[in-house]
Structure 1
Amino acid sequence: MIRVLLADDQALLRSTFRMLIDAQDDLTVVGEAADGAQAVDLTRRHHPDLVVMDIRMPVLDGVAATRQICADPDLTGTRVLVLTTFESDEHVAAALKAGASGFLGKDVSTAGLLDGIRTVVAGEALLSPVATRVLVDRFLASPDGVGDLPRGLLPTLTDREREITGLAALGLSNQEIAARLVVSPLTVRTHVHRAMAKLGARDRAQLVVIAYQEGLVRAP
Structure 2
Amino acid sequence: MIRVLVTDDEPLVRAGIRMILSSGEDIDVVAEAANGREAVDLARKLAVDVVLLDLQMPVMDGVTALAELRRAAPRARVLILTTFGERENVLRTLVGGSAGFLLKDSAPPDLLRAVRAAAAGEAYLSPATTRQVVDLVASGDTARRSEEARHRLERLSDRERDVLALLGEGLSNAETGRRLHMSEGTIKTYVSRVLTKLDCGNRVQAALLARDAGLRAAAPEREHP
Query: Does the pair score TM above 0.5?
Result: yes
Q: Secondary structure at the match of 1:29?
A: strand
Aligned to 2:221: none
Gaps in structure 1 of 5+ consecutive residues: 145-149
**Residues 190 and 109 (structure 1 numbering): CA distance in 2 closer, same or farther, change over 3 Å?**
closer
- The range that moved more, 44-53 or 164-173, is 44-53
Q: Give the AA of the match of 1:11.
A: P
Q: CA deviation at 1:55?
A: 0.5
Aligned to 2:220: none
Q: CA deviation at 1:86?
A: 5.9
Q: Give the AA of the match of 2:36.
A: G
Question: 4+ runs of 1 displaced by more than 4 Å?
Answer: none
Aligned to 1:34: 34
Once residues 85 and 8 of structure 1 are traced to their aligned partners in structure 2, the CA distance between those partners, rounded to angstroms, is 13
Once residues 184 and 84 of structure 2 are traced to their aligned partners in structure 1, the CA distance between those partners, rounded to angstroms, is 32
**Residues 183 and 134 (structure 1 numbering): CA distance in 2 closer, same or farther, change over 3 Å?**
closer
- The answer to whether 1:83 aligns with 2:85 is no
Q: Secondary structure at the match of 1:140?
A: coil
Q: Give the AA of the match of 1:202.
A: G
Indicate the structure (1 or 2) with the bigger Cα radius of gyration: 2
**Residues 40 and 74 (structure 1 numbering): CA distance in 2 closer, same or farther, change over 3 Å?**
closer
Once residues 31 and 199 of structure 1 are traced to their aligned partners in structure 2, the CA distance between those partners, rounded to angstroms, is 37
Gaps in structure 2 of 5+ consecutive residues: 143-147, 218-225
Aligned length: 210
Q: CA RMSD in A?
A: 2.5
Once residues 193 and 110 of structure 1 are traced to their aligned partners in structure 2, the CA distance between those partners, rounded to angstroms, is 25
**Residues 118 and 198 (structure 1 numbering): CA distance in 2 closer, same or farther, change over 3 Å?**
same
Q: Give the TM-score normalised by the residue count of structure 1.
A: 0.82
Given that residues 127 and 170 in structure 2 are in contact (C-alpha distance below 8 angstroms), is that contact kept between their aligned partners in structure 1?
A: no
Q: CA deviation at 1:54?
A: 0.4
Q: Secondary structure at the match of 1:16?
A: helix
Once residues 109 and 190 of structure 1 are traced to their aligned partners in structure 2, the CA distance between those partners, rounded to angstroms, is 25
Q: Secondary structure at the match of 2:5?
A: strand
1:134 pairs, out of 123, 132, 135, with 132
Q: CA deviation at 1:6?
A: 0.5
Given that residues 88 and 134 in structure 1 are in contact (C-alpha distance below 8 angstroms), is that contact kept between their aligned partners in structure 2?
A: no
Given that residues 7 and 35 in structure 2 are in contact (C-alpha distance below 8 angstroms), is that contact kept between their aligned partners in structure 1?
A: yes
Q: Give the TM-score normalised by the residue count of structure 2.
A: 0.81
Identity %, equivalent residues: 40
Aligned to 2:62: 62
